[in-house]
């Protein structure tokens, strides 16, 4: 009879406080769960089990514990209200990682769940990475890029994680596809969480707009007035993040971290569009995170604001806000003010030289770019090597060119530390044949991948081609956004681009030959790059030279410090490269981690 008794009516927060155990490998605070620790999570989790609500949208910072909210929701529905559940991650790989690193430890360490979901090691356990069954339901993990797996089975609880990183397949929008699976349930639940991306194309932002738009208000310990935490109320003395504090927007009282954490514990959600029913929306910046000190937040900000692309990451991932892009087109690029007379030699600010090569049907175009502290850059040389890429001659010329030694103003002799050659045109085989034996010289074969939000380095290199040549995928849209946002920097210093006097007007026409347009595609906005002039090789070369710097995986700032100490010597790139692949830390250095 006990087994037939209805489960006690718990809210998700109550279930988590009673049963949830945080696993050692997945949490800095292993042990029993406490909703109080991040009080704002209570309102979000309890909205999911609120029978008047069928859709919950969370647009937030990356640091407020939203994965735990998803995990608690899964745990609750396994333990209290068995249902078919589907959790959709941006990619199938990410679904596997989520399953192994987050879901499995929870199932193992939370006793009420361990009993329900069988051990994956036992035979016929019906428990695999992507599919786990339990009495009365199952949980299926899929990637937004595998639309086929979204078909068939009806689902009651749909969990969409990181929706702003979803890809659109030829079958259409994965969110719409998945939602069809839940149509048959009168008590269906949809939970959608993400850090936002660009204004206009962020899916979490547009989903949030359709909800009752709740904001988390916290009371001031001094005057008692409620307020939403805002970045503009964070103050610090110039260049001293350790002086960071929060000031009440009503009375000006100064809060330290402890006062801020206390205020968050006493806060509450309030809808700003209370007329909307059935859809609850929650917005949270990293300022609410009990795991982030203001000092660290300011430190991240000071580092991030040096460059537009890192500032964008800060705005999205820490503030949890969309980014309004101004770097869509370089219309007013003032060539005259960017062209400088370097003289014969490479300017002294250059620490590392890289090259980018574009392959055309009758020639190769290649640019050598020097990078210095904070990725300030100096274009060094642009060359067109004429010849048929199907024949060896032009490749021998490229080999010789990439092996040249360049003299810097202070007498140091520089070599090119990394080069990218585009394999995307009609001469893929020739590019593989050239690059494969030259991997030791750090000449990399690359392939440009279009699409908004694809990282500059799109995963590890593949060798999935007939010559087994290592091939790197480059998120060219992201790279172009970085290049264009840097062209707009008017002050010399971080990110600024210098060009030598001998660069032609045609070069600059090609460099600024593209712009971003917004297109409406399968139901939502998408940003696409289009050419406004027929030739754009200069832009491509620039993008590939930047990609080469990223493939090297070195910190120019660190190299600059080292070479300053070691005197008159070119930098030793092998010593500067990390021995192991670095994984982003759990919290803290997210700006680097998200690039
Ligand atoms: Zn106050």
pLDDT (tens digit per residue) in 498-518: 999 999 989 998 998 888 876
CA of 220 to the centre of ligand 1 (A): 5
CA of 277 to the centre of ligand 1 (A): 32
Same fold, 12-317 and 332-570: no
CA of 36 to the centre of ligand 1 (A): 23
Q: What does the alpha-carbon distance between residue 576 and residue 559 come to, in Å, rounded to a whole number?
A: 7
Look at residue 561 in the predicted model and tell me its pLDDT: 83
CA of 248 to the centre of ligand 1 (A): 5
CA of 265 to the centre of ligand 1 (A): 16
CA of 66 to the centre of ligand 1 (A): 29
CA of 231 to the centre of ligand 1 (A): 16
Q: Is 230 helix (H, G, I), strand (E, B) or coil?
A: coil
Look at residue 594 in the predicted model and tell me its pLDDT: 36
- Name the more confident of 326 and 398: 398
Tokens of 15: 């279930």
Q: What is the mean pLDDT of residues 284-293?
A: 94
Look at residue 451 in the predicted model and tell me its pLDDT: 82
Look at residue 568 in the predicted model and tell me its pLDDT: 59
CA of 245 to the centre of ligand 1 (A): 14
CA of 224 to the centre of ligand 1 (A): 6
CA of 44 to the centre of ligand 1 (A): 26
CA of 216 to the centre of ligand 1 (A): 16
Is the pLDDT at 66 greater than 60? The verdict is yes
CA of 435 to the centre of ligand 1 (A): 63
CA of 233 to the centre of ligand 1 (A): 12
Look at residue 592 in the predicted model and tell me its pLDDT: 35
Mean pLDDT of the chain: 88
Is the pLDDT at 564 greater than 70? The verdict is no
CA of 226 to the centre of ligand 1 (A): 8
- Residues bordering ligand 1, an ion, CB closer than 5 Å: 220, 222-223, 248, 250-251, 253
Look at residue 128 in the predicted model and tell me its pLDDT: 86
Q: What does the alpha-carbon distance between residue 404 and residue 94 come to, in Å, rounded to a whole number?
A: 42
Domain ranges across the chain: 12-317, 332-570
Look at residue 577 in the predicted model and tell me its pLDDT: 63
CA of 316 to the centre of ligand 1 (A): 28
Look at residue 9 in the predicted model and tell me its pLDDT: 83
CA of 251 to the centre of ligand 1 (A): 4
| Residues in contact with 36: Cβ distance below 8 Å, sequence separation at least 6, in sequence order | 265
Look at residue 584 in the predicted model and tell me its pLDDT: 40
pLDDT (tens digit per residue) in 76-105: 999 999 999 999 999 999 999 999 999 999
Is the pLDDT at 373 greater than 50? The verdict is yes
pLDDT (tens digit per residue) in 158-169: 999 999 988 766
CA of 230 to the centre of ligand 1 (A): 14
CA of 323 to the centre of ligand 1 (A): 30
CA of 262 to the centre of ligand 1 (A): 14
Burial class (CB in 10 A: 0-12, 13-18, 19+), 153: exposed
Look at residue 331 in the predicted model and tell me its pLDDT: 65
CA of 255 to the centre of ligand 1 (A): 9
CA of 274 to the centre of ligand 1 (A): 26
Look at residue 585 in the predicted model and tell me its pLDDT: 39
Architecture of domain 332-570: 2-Layer Sandwich (3.30)
Q: What does the alpha-carbon distance between residue 28 and residue 586 come to, in Å, rounded to a whole number?
A: 9
Is the pLDDT at 299 greater than 90? The verdict is yes
CA of 544 to the centre of ligand 1 (A): 52
CA of 209 to the centre of ligand 1 (A): 29
pLDDT (tens digit per residue) in 250-280: 999 999 999 999 999 999 999 999 999 999 9
Look at residue 311 in the predicted model and tell me its pLDDT: 87
CA of 219 to the centre of ligand 1 (A): 8
Tokens of 574: 């092998």
Instruction: Please list the alpha-helical segments (H only) found in 230-334.
Output: 257-265, 294-304, 308-313
pTM: 0.73
CA of 478 to the centre of ligand 1 (A): 42
Look at residue 338 in the predicted model and tell me its pLDDT: 83
Beta strands in 84-220 (DSSP E): 84-89, 131-134, 137-143, 157-161, 189-194, 214-219
Maximum alpha-carbon separation in the chain:
90
CA of 282 to the centre of ligand 1 (A): 24
CA of 587 to the centre of ligand 1 (A): 30
CA of 247 to the centre of ligand 1 (A): 8
Look at residue 588 in the predicted model and tell me its pLDDT: 38
Tokens of 450: 């279009």
Provide the CA 486 distance to its chain's centre, in angstroms.
Answer: 19
Look at residue 439 in the predicted model and tell me its pLDDT: 95
CA of 237 to the centre of ligand 1 (A): 21
CA of 34 to the centre of ligand 1 (A): 28
101 secondary structure, DSSP code: I
Q: Which of 327-331, 426-430, 582-586 has the highest mean pLDDT?
A: 426-430
CA of 160 to the centre of ligand 1 (A): 38
Lowest average pLDDT, out of 3-7, 61-65, 152-156, 372-376, goes to 3-7
Q: Which helix (H) or strand (E) holds 204?
A: helix 203-209
CA of 235 to the centre of ligand 1 (A): 15
CA of 276 to the centre of ligand 1 (A): 31
Q: Which of 365, 417, 377, 376 is nearest to 535 (CA)?
A: 365
Q: How far is CA 302 from CA 47, 238, 295, 434, 588, in A?
A: 36, 10, 11, 42, 13
pLDDT (tens digit per residue) in 330-365: 666 777 778 899 888 999 999 999 999 999 999 999
CA of 269 to the centre of ligand 1 (A): 19
CA of 311 to the centre of ligand 1 (A): 30
pLDDT (tens digit per residue) in 425-446: 889 999 999 999 999 999 999 9
Q: What angle do CA 267, 19, 52 make, to 5 degrees?
A: 55
CA of 228 to the centre of ligand 1 (A): 12
Q: Which residue has the tokens 């009651």?
A: 156
CA of 281 to the centre of ligand 1 (A): 27
Look at residue 496 in the predicted model and tell me its pLDDT: 94
User: pLDDT tier at 378 (50, 70, 90 boundaries)?
Assistant: very high
CA of 215 to the centre of ligand 1 (A): 18
Q: What angle do CA 508, 514, 519 make, to 5 degrees?
A: 165
Lowest average pLDDT, out of 10-24, 156-170, 378-392, goes to 156-170
> CATH: 3.50.4.10, 3.40.50.300, 3.50.50.60, 3.20.20.10. Which one for 12-317?
3.40.50.300
Q: What does the alpha-carbon distance between residue 421 and residue 440 come to, in Å, rounded to a whole number?
A: 15
Look at residue 416 in the predicted model and tell me its pLDDT: 96
CA of 318 to the centre of ligand 1 (A): 24
CA of 259 to the centre of ligand 1 (A): 11
3-state secondary structure 425-487: CCCHHHHHHHHHHHHHHCEEEEEEECCCCCCCECCCCECCCCCCCCEEEEEHHHHHHHHHHHH
């Amino acid at each position: 009879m006990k087994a037939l008794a209805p489960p006690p009516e718990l809210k998700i927060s109550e279930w988590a406080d009673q049963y949830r155990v945080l696993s050692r490998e997945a949490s800095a605070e292993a042990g029993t769960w406490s909703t109080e620790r991040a009080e704002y999570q209570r309102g979000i989790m309890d909205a999911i089990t609120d029978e008047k609500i069928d859709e919950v949208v969370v647009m937030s910072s990356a640091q407020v514990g939203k994965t735990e909210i998803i995990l608690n929701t899964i745990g609750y529905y396994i333990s209290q209200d068995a249902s078919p559940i589907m959790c959709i991650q941006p990619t199938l790989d990410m679904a596997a990682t989520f399953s192994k690193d987050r879901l499995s430890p929870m199932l193992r360490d939370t006793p009420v769940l361990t009993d329900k979901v069988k051990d994956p090691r036992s035979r016929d356990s019906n428990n695999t990475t992507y599919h786990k069954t339990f009495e009365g339901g199952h949980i299926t993990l899929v990637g937004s890029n595998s639309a086929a797996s979204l078909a068939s089975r009806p689902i009651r609880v749909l969990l969409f994680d990181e929706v702003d990183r979803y890809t659109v397949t030829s079958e259409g929008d994965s969110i719409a596809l998945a939602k069809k699976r839940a149509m048959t349930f009168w008590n269906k639940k949809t939970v959608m969480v993400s850090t936002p991306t660009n204004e206009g194309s962020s899916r979490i932002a547009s989903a949030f707009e359709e909800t009752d738009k709740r904001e988390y208000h916290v009371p001031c310990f001094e005057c008692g007035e409620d307020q939403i935490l805002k970045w503009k109320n964070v103050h610090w003395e110039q260049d001293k993040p350790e002086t960071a504090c929060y000031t009440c927007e009503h009375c000006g009282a100064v809060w330290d971290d402890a006062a801020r954490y206390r205020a968050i514990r006493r806060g509450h959600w309030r809808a700003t569009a209370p007329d909307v029913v059935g859809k609850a929306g929650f917005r949270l910046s990293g300022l609410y995170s009990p795991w982030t000190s203001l000092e660290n937040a300011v430190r991240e900000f000071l580092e991030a604001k040096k460059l537009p692309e890192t500032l964008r990451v800060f705005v999205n991932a820490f503030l949890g806000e969309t980014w309004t892009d101004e770097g869509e087109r370089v219309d007013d690029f003032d060539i005259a003010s960017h062209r400088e007379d370097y003289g014969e030699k490479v300017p002294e600010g250059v620490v590392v030289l890289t090259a980018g090569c574009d392959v055309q049907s009758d020639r190769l175009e290649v640019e050598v770019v020097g990078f210095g502290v904070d990725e300030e850059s100096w274009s060094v040389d642009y060359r067109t090597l004429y010849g048929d890429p199907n024949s060896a001659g032009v490749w021998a010329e490229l080999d010789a060119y990439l092996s040249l030694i360049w003299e810097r103003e202070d007498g140091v002799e520089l070599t090119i530390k990394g080069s990218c050659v585009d394999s995307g045109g009609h001469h893929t085989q020739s590019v593989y044949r050239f690059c494969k034996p030259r991997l030791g010289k750090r000449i990399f074969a690359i392939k440009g991948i279009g699409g908004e939000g694809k990282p500059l380095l799109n995963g590890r290199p593949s060798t999935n081609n007939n010559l087994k040549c290592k091939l790197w995928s480059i998120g060219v849209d992201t790279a172009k956004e970085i290049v264009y946002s840097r062209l707009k920097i008017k002050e010399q210093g971080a990110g600024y681009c210098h060009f030598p006097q001998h660069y032609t007007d045609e070069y600059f026409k090609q460099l600024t030959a593209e712009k971003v347009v917004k297109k409406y595609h399968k139901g939502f906005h998408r940003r696409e790059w289009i050419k406004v002039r027929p030739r754009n090789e200069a832009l491509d070369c620039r993008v590939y030279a930047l990609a080469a710097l990223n493939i090297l995986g070195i910190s120019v700032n660190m190299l600059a410090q080292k070479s300053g100490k070691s005197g008159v010597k070119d930098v030793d790139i092998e010593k500067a490269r990390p021995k192991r692949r670095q994984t982003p830390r759990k919290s803290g250095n997210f700006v680097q981690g998200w690039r």
